[in-house]
Amino acid sequence: MPYKYIGRTTDFKGKTLWEILGNLKNFGVGRIVARGMFERYPEPSYIKVLKVETLATPETVTPDDVRKVRVWVERTFRGKAFPNPIILESASYKADYKLIPKDEEEAYCRTTVKEEAKVYPKSFDFPPLMKELILRDIRAEGGNTKEELKLEIVYNKASKRTKYRIAEDGEKPNVEIVMGFGKPASPSLYEGIKL
Amino acid sequence: MLRLTNNFRTLYIAGDILNSNPHLLNSQSVRWRKPRWVPKAKSKIFRVPPRLVLPEDERIELMRLNANYKTQMKSIRKYLFDKYSNLNATEADPETQRKEFEEDFARCMEINNKWNDEQRVLREKRVAEELEAELDFARKAVELKTEKQIEQLETVEEIVRREKELSKSYILPENIDAAIEHALANPVDYNFAVNLNGEKVTGFEKEDKDKQRASVIQ
């Protein structure tokens, strides 16, 4: 009889980590496992299992906690390997892992997408009204208003390590970030509208 | 119906406020939704809301707009934070701050010393009491131990005395011949009976042996 699923659907696709590793010889040490959620990126993301440790039954038994396992892995995220092994425990219960067969490992882990290193601008303009207010303050204090006012951009620190860098002084960024509406990613949505 | 009356009540109260406060002329307090503590409607318990499916171009445009907004707001917030935290920092005179801090510290130290003095008196008293109690305990323990030792010594002495008494009748190499002779001369027959007069009647063993011998011969 076919399964009939009820309730809300999920984006997860696969098994929990223990469901995979518990069935493998030597708990799958040396094997490659991938998260279904990370397959949305063009670069490959996968983990290599280094060591597996089971956990004691938690004090308060919840459906998530009883499915957890502690795994030391070498993580590669979006084609970039992490320098140190990491411990995967809190996310190990997610039914979103899949085992990569040994003969497909090489093809799966190969980085085919070569992206140019992104250089982001260090600053952009102030919002127009704010700029006027600041200029007024400077004028009131008798300062120099000829100097160009720029607002330093705050970026996400975590992804700055791997995904991009910020332009040095005098360097030209290859990604444009502007204050205000910016350039639409899908111009078809704005047809007939004056931007 | 209940909801309607509730809402009318809310409106009525709102009306009161409106009359008293001209700033709230345009405000209207009507809450159509259920409050948080009211449970999920019975007709909605098993309802599964459909997943939102966005067209790809809309999705990427929304992502871009959200990311842009967040970056801009973060940058502005940081700018304002830096600006005003710097302003506040420069406003305060470091000399006055230091003086205030020192005064406050001196006051705190005075209170602290007072507390410490009070505590010291209490502590010394307590420590002395504890020491006395411990000494008492130790003295008692020594006394008990001595008593026990004396008792043990007496028990041992008693055993030794008894053994000495008994040792007089011991059979030693010197007197073994005499003992054997004495034993042979006085055979003891434990197989005896007692008659009505309380006298021992012996000689049963000999009769038994004679009978056994007779049966073997036959």
- Taking the Cβ of residue B49 and every Cβ of chain A, the question of whether any pair is shorter than 8 Å is answered with yes
Helix, strand or coil, per DSSP, at residue B112: helix
Tell whether A38 is covered by a domain: yes
Residue B3 is predicted with a pLDDT of: 47
Torsion from C-alpha of A53, A57, A61, A64, nearest 10 degrees: 10
Same domain, A27 and A98: yes
Lowest mean pLDDT among A92-96, A152-156, A162-166: A162-166
Q: What is the phi-psi region of residue A192: left when phi exceeds 0, alpha when psi lies from -120 to 50, beta otherwise? A: left
Residue that finishes a domain, picked among A109, A129, A150: A109
Task: Name every residue whose Cβ is closer than 8 Å to that of residue A164 and which is 6 or more positions away in sequence.
Answer: A117, A118, A119, A120, A155, A175
Look at residue A1 and tell me whether its pLDDT is greater than 60.
yes
Task: Tally the domains of chain B.
Answer: 3
- Taking the Cβ of residue A57 and every Cβ of chain B, the question of whether any pair is shorter than 8 Å is answered with no
Residue A116 is predicted with a pLDDT of: 75
CB contact at 8 A, A70 and A87: yes
| CB-CB neighbors (< 8 A) of A130 in chain B | 76
Question: For residue A81, which amino acid is it?
Answer: A
B209-216 — which CB contacts under 8 Å span 24+ positions?
none
Tell whether A142 is covered by a domain: yes
Q: Are strands A164-166 and A118-120 parallel, antiparallel or unpaired?
A: parallel
Residue B218 is predicted with a pLDDT of: 56
| CB-CB neighbors (< 8 A) of B74 in chain A | 154
Residue B208 is predicted with a pLDDT of: 65
Q: How far apart are CA A45 and CA A109, in angstroms?
A: 8
Residue in A closest to B56 by C-alpha: A186
Q: At B53, list the tokens.
A: 């499916």
Residue B164 is predicted with a pLDDT of: 94
Adjacent-strand bridge partners of B193: B201
Same domain, A75 and A94: yes
Please state the rounded mean pLDDT for residues A22-38.
96
Same domain, B115 and B161: yes
Residue that finishes a domain, picked among A109, A138, A154: A109
CB contact at 8 A, A102 and A113: no
Domain of residue A100 covers: 17-109
Task: Name every residue whose Cβ is closer than 8 Å to that of residue B9 and which is 6 or more positions away in sequence.
Answer: none
Same domain, A127 and A93: no
Q: How far apart are CA B140 and CA B137, in angstroms?
A: 5
Beta carbons of A9 and B51 less than 8 Å apart: yes
Same domain, B33 and B15: yes
Residue that finishes a domain, picked among A66, A82, A109: A109
Residue A170 is predicted with a pLDDT of: 82
CB contact at 8 A, A97 and A16: yes
CB contact at 8 A, A185 and B61: yes
Residue A45 is predicted with a pLDDT of: 94
Tell whether A12 is covered by a domain: no
Report CA Rg, chain A: 25
Q: What is the phi-psi region of residue B149: left when phi exceeds 0, alpha when psi lies from -120 to 50, beta otherwise? A: alpha
Residue B189 is predicted with a pLDDT of: 83
Helix, strand or coil, per DSSP, at residue A99: strand
Residue that finishes a domain, picked among B91, B112, B134: B91
Cα first-last separation, chain A: 56
| CB-CB neighbors (< 8 A) of B48 in chain A | 6-8
Residue that finishes a domain, picked among B125, B149, B165: B165
Q: How far apart are CA A155 and CA B75, in angstroms?
A: 8
Residue range A143-163, pLDDT digits in tens: 887 778 899 999 887 766 667
Tell whether A6 is covered by a domain: no
Same domain, A21 and A105: yes
pLDDT category at A142 given cuts 50, 70, 90 is confident
Q: At B212, list the tokens.
A: 């056994």
Q: How far apart are CA B92 and CA A109, in angstroms?
A: 58
Tell whether B176 is covered by a domain: no
Please state the rounded mean pLDDT for residues A70-75.
96
B62 vs A165 pLDDT, higher one: B62
Same domain, A164 and A91: no
Residue B188 is predicted with a pLDDT of: 85
Task: Tally the domains of chain A.
Answer: 2
Same domain, A25 and A71: yes
| CB-CB neighbors (< 8 A) of A185 in chain B | 57, 60-61, 63-64
Same domain, B87 and B104: no
A-contacting residues in B 92-151 (Cβ below 8 Å): none
CB contact at 8 A, B31 and B10: yes
Task: Name every residue whose Cβ is closer than 8 Å to that of residue A155 and which is 6 or more positions away in sequence.
Answer: A120, A164, A166, B71
CB contact at 8 A, B75 and A153: yes
Residue B94 is predicted with a pLDDT of: 84
Q: Are strands A46-53 and A164-166 parallel, antiparallel or unpaired?
A: unpaired
pLDDT in tens, chain B (218 residues): 444 444 444 444 444 554 555 566 666 677 778 888 999 999 999 899 989 899 999 999 999 999 999 999 999 999 999 988 877 776 678 888 899 999 999 999 999 999 999 999 999 999 999 999 999 999 999 999 999 999 999 999 999 999 999 998 898 998 899 999 999 998 888 888 999 999 988 877 666 666 666 666 65
E strand or H helix that includes residue A53: strand A46-53
Same domain, B28 and B68: no
b/e per residue B121-132 (b: at least 16 CB within 10 A) = eeeeeeeeeeee
Domain of residue B6 covers: 1-37
Tell whether B22 is covered by a domain: yes
Tell whether B23 is covered by a domain: yes
Tell whether A165 is covered by a domain: yes
Look at residue A106 and tell me whether its pLDDT is greater than 90.
yes
The answer to whether the Cα torsion of B18, B23, B25, B29 is positive or negative is: negative
Residue A134: other Cβ atoms inside 10 A: 16
